[in-house]
Chain A
Amino acid sequence: MKVQLYRIAHGRSGDKGNTVNVGVIALRPEFYPFLLDHLTTDRVRRHFGDLVKGDVERFELPNLNALNFLLHEALGGGGTVSLMTDAQGKTFSTAMLRMEVDLPNDLAALVKER
């Protein structure tokens, strides 16, 4: 079943200078291995395309069923220099949760409406 990441994960994003951090947390522990397999740095880089000019780094937090991504050079200079409405990267987490993924049937059965 094809779903948006929003149906199986939540998260929060913020800024460090010109870098955005996007934390992605599995809504259920069962979804975490799927996130580990599918949210590769390549996949995330392709998803954001030209919204991210620099590298994408990924860190694992299995204790929270979470992944943390650093998207470098994504805020038009960052802080006060940036001309973006979202100069602090607050909405990058929901931009991430737009991503469409193909869930296997056993996990699809666990998905709830949001």
Chain B
Amino acid sequence: MSNRDTIRIASGQGFWGDRLQAPVEQVRRGPIDYLMLDYLAEVTMSIMQKQRSRDPAQGYARDFVPLMGEILEDCVEKDIRVVANAGGVNADGCAEAVLTEARRAGLMGSAKVGVVSGDDIMDRLEELVESGHELRNMETGAPLSDVLSKIQSANAYIGARPIVDALNRGAHVVITGRSTDTALTYAPMMHAFGWALDDWDRIAAGVVAGHINECGAQASGGNSIVAWKDVPDLADVGYPIIEAHSDGTFIVTKHDGTGGLINRAVVAEQILYEMGDPREYITPDVVADFTTIHLDDAGPDRVRVHGVKGRKATDMLKVSISYSAGYKAVGTLVYAWPDCIEKARMADRILRERLDRMGATFDEVRTELVGWNSTHGHLAGEPPADLPEIELRVAVRSTDKAAVEAFTREIAPLILTGPPSVTGFAGGRPRVQDIVAYWPALIDRTQIEPHLRVEVREA
């Protein structure tokens, strides 16, 4: 723990697949103390599990390793600590790969990597279910035993404490599995300011900061309906930086000279993203009340956040489970003027009739006309008269793989056997995709926390 009153925590990655250059620029274009990188979405863990089952050395966000090769020397030199949930389902393997990069960069004896494990409960599931933990689906109420044989991955969402532990022990890089997105931002605050574990208001403020940081540039002018026409230089958008004070107040800002825009309206949009009941934003460390957030404009690209209240965390942790749920495919064709909508509708009818006659059965067949109703449905109203073109998009889902395969073979033939002026079929047959579905559940935290481990390894 240091005695500083202000630390700067930079957001470097909003999801696995975000701009690779963003974290490099956060380290090089101005002062920061911490870099947080969020790689995990609800379905990411199952993708990683699949990769690990093919190769036991895999199962983490691979992008993270070359990134560390590029910036770790800078980070050690400038004392910038990195916190990332890049570990996925193999935090250990990820840490070893980063240590190899550190040695290659000549950081033997100077770089330390912390690894947090114990969130993965895949191997414990059967035992947990047998001992009476039903792990009911939070949306449907169904017990996990319904899908137990189809499970692909299972991880508990863990909070900041193990990350704080690794930082306290001097780790330059902390790699976790399924830690919550927000913890990656507020763990550095708890470490740097030495906040008590029951300092609910300050930790809740940290959660708000984490929620603002966790989607990258979505808090600095990206994807903003209020500002998009006015945001300067989105091509060089600066990702958000939280300038946190020990009293729990903070400023949202970005590096000088970068593009993007940070003001109250832009930050408010991000606060509302993926919001449930704003009075109880539940995390493993605190329940934050988002109706207590105050935002003030505090100069160009600076928003001050204060007043946040929180209360004691709950006894339960959320668990993210994924399971196999059949197959799907999406086929598209483009129809041109005249009467493009009528042509697309006719093609859709023919396709369905052919599949019907083959006896292919689906759990769902969905038809959208992209260019008219695929996003706003009936709210789009009637299509404009004389529309120049439309994309027919048909998607199917079934537990019968053969039915989905049959569908993928019936798209291209529509070009020569259906309505005219059709194009847009260059990519071959649509791909059959395995559906890995998400099963959110709750578990008593006493089943998880004793299993959490923190290791700090030297390069």
Contact = CB atoms under 8 A, between A and B. Distances in A.
Interface in B7-47: 42-43
A86 B268 contact: no
Contacts of A84: 366, 368, 374, 395
A80 B330 CA distance: 13
A110 interface: no
A81 B397 contact: yes
B378 A91 contact: no
Given A23-B273, A86-B374, A79 B364 contact: no
Interface in B248-307: 265, 268-279, 290-295, 307
B276 A16 contact: yes
A105 interface: no
Given A81-B325, A81-B435, A85-B370, A64 B271 contact: yes
B5 interface: no
Interface residues of B, number: 49
A106 interface: no
Contacts of B138: 17
Contacts of A59: 275, 277-279
Interface in B404-459: 435-438, 440
B275 A51 contact: no
Given A10-B269, A14-B273, A27 B293 contact: no
Contacts of B277: 59
Contacts of B437: 77, 79-81
B268 A25 contact: yes
A84 B370 CA distance: 11
Interface string B334-346: 0000000000000
Q: Is the interface of A mostly helix, strand, loop or mixed?
A: mixed
A94 interface: yes
A94 B273 contact: no
A12 B376 contact: no
A13 to B, nearest CB: 8
B384 interface: no
B139 interface: yes
A80 B275 contact: no
B328 interface: yes
B179 to A, nearest CB: 19
Given A59-B278, A79-B43, A25 B272 contact: yes
A7 interface: no
A17 B139 contact: yes
A59 B294 CA distance: 17
B272 A21 contact: yes
A66 to B, nearest CB: 6
B226 interface: yes
Interface string A72-106: 00001111110111100001011101100000000
A84 B293 CA distance: 34
A16 B273 CA distance: 10
B351 to A, nearest CB: 15
Contact of B378 (A18, A50, A66, A93): A50
B384 to A, nearest CB: 15
A14 B330 CA distance: 22
Contacts of A47: 379
A80 B368 contact: no
A3 B426 CA distance: 43
A17 B291 CA distance: 23
Contact of A83 (B273, B276, B364, B376): B364
Nearest to B435: A80
A61 interface: yes
B110 interface: no
Contact of A79 (B226, B374, B396, B438): B438
Interface of B: 42-43, 138-139, 223, 225-226, 265, 268-279, 290-295, 307, 325, 328, 330, 364, 366, 368, 370, 374-379, 393, 395-397, 435-438, 440
Question: Which 10 residue pairs across A and B have the least CB separation, nearest first?
Answer: A23-B272, A83-B395, A10-B226, A14-B274, A91-B375, A83-B366, A85-B374, A12-B269, A95-B376, A79-B438
Interface of A: 10-12, 14-19, 21, 23, 25, 27, 47-51, 59-64, 66, 68, 70, 76-81, 83-86, 91, 93-95, 97-98
Given A12-B223, A80-B437, 15 more contacts: A17-B438, A17-B440, A21-B272, A21-B275, A25-B272, A59-B277, A61-B290, A70-B276, A80-B438, A81-B437, A83-B366, A84-B366, A86-B374, A91-B376, A93-B225
30 contacts: A10-B269, A11-B225, A11-B272, A12-B225, A12-B270, A12-B273, A16-B276, A17-B139, A23-B269, A23-B272, A23-B273, A25-B265, A27-B265, A59-B275, A61-B272, A61-B293, A64-B293, A64-B295, A76-B366, A77-B437, A80-B325, A80-B437, A81-B397, A83-B328, A84-B368, A84-B374, A84-B395, A91-B376, A94-B376, A98-B376
